[in-house]
Amino acid sequence: MSGLLDGVRVVDLSRVLAGPFAGQVLAEMGADVIKVEPPEGDMARGIGPHINGRSMYFSSLNTNKRGVVLDLTTGPGRRGLEALLDTADIVVENYRPGAIEKLGLAPEALLERHPRLVVVTISSYARGSELENEGSFDLIAQAESGIMSLTGEEGGAPVRAGVAISDLAAGLWGALGAVAAYAVALREGRGRHVEVPLLDSAMSLLTYLATSAMETGVDPGPVGSGHHNIVPYRAFATTDGWVVVAVIGDKFWPLLCEALELDDLAARADLRTNPQRTAARHEIDATVAAALGRLSTEEALRRLAVAGVPHAPLRTILEAVASPYVQSSGMVAEVDSPQGPYRIVQGPLRSGGPLSAAPELGEHTRDVMSEVLGADSPDLEVFAG
């Protein structure tokens, strides 16, 4: 995947999570991503944990970017940004409506001044909608989209997904939209505006569940670690841990029964198809849970592997990043920084080049502005990064 976006310059005006994640995805694919921050910095720098004074939250979202400080409330700051945008292919922003207009950076205004630029806006709600001026966060999007109504145990309280899936989905859609619009700009010679609302991004993840609910008129509700339409397909406790079992289709059902010595279930004609098993969810889950609950994790995994049943151990994050596959795949990478090395989890589409640490506040201001203004520009002294 080396160099997918070599030569593409991205100006990242975004803050916190969704926008910076979009920028990092583009950086991992080889783009030159320039992170522009106000003098006080991205508020994500204050989110912990902090190791040796460095925010791991901020660092995980801004690796491989160059950092520039520009005060966009001042004339020099705005002129510096305009010079930077003259050299850019893509800009990513997540300002609230009103704030972006005050800075003269509304998408329409940017495209008027920079016709070949791709402008990616990550918003709370679609601009022009009745909610366009409302703020939002991942928790709000998970609640409004219906995702939280699906998450948790049956009969229990609604649960937020453990990672910020709304923000991360918006970041991925933003990166995808940026690349698609850039391809159009190369072909047609003009840029365009791509908007990615947070709520829309969250709802896009509902896919088959939303279609099923709309066509049946039935809300699916939570099923814990299980699946609404496939049984058995969930996490089961062992004597010393957890394993997951995924019996998709009908091929694996008799194999699971054999592995767990569930001869009575295997012989039942009323459980041979997945729709039949879904109707008998509670009985099957309870029986499989009892069988696996008598085994150690090691023994359960051995039996399932011998039988050829799709399965996996349930790992913690620290166990997952230390697993042989993840270690050999290069997904975990160590990054050197002035405060000491830190590790990140990379995406699957990465350039393969050397990694650079998330920038210190304004670390590359003078270098970048020298590139866009010229090393002998008298305005360069304004930018003391």
- Looking up tokens 């039935």 gives 218
Beta-carbon contacts of 266 under 8 Å, excluding residues fewer than 6 positions away, are 253, 254, 257, 258
User: Which member of 12, 89, 167, 200 is catalytic?
Assistant: 167
Give burial (CB, 10 Å; 0-12/13-18/19+) of 258.
Answer: middle
In whole angstroms, what is the distance from residue 200 CA to residue 178 CA? 17
12 is catalytic: no
- In this structure, the strands spanning 118-123 and 90-93 are parallel
Name the β-bridge partners of 2. none
Q: What SS3 state is found at 28?
A: helix
Q: Do 91 and 118 meet the contact criterion of CB atoms below 8 Å apart?
A: yes
CB 46 within 8 A of CB 226: no
Distance CA 94, CA 20 (A): 9
d(CA 293, CA 235) in angstroms, rounded, equals 11
Cα gap 286→212, rounded to integer Å: 26
Question: Which backbone phi and psi does 355 adopt, to 5 degrees?
Answer: -95, 145
CA angle centred on 352, ends 185 and 53, rounded to 5°: 100
Task: Return d(Cα 241, Cα 23) in angstroms, integer.
Answer: 38
CB of 311 closer than 8 Å to CB of 305 = yes
Largest CA distance in the chain: 85
For 348-380, letters b (16+ CB in 10 Å) and e give: eebbeeebbbbbebbbbbbebbebbbeeeeeee
Report how far residue 158's alpha carbon sits from residue 146's, in angstroms, rounded to the nearest whole number. 10
- DSSP state letter for 6: T
The residues assigned a catalytic role are: 167
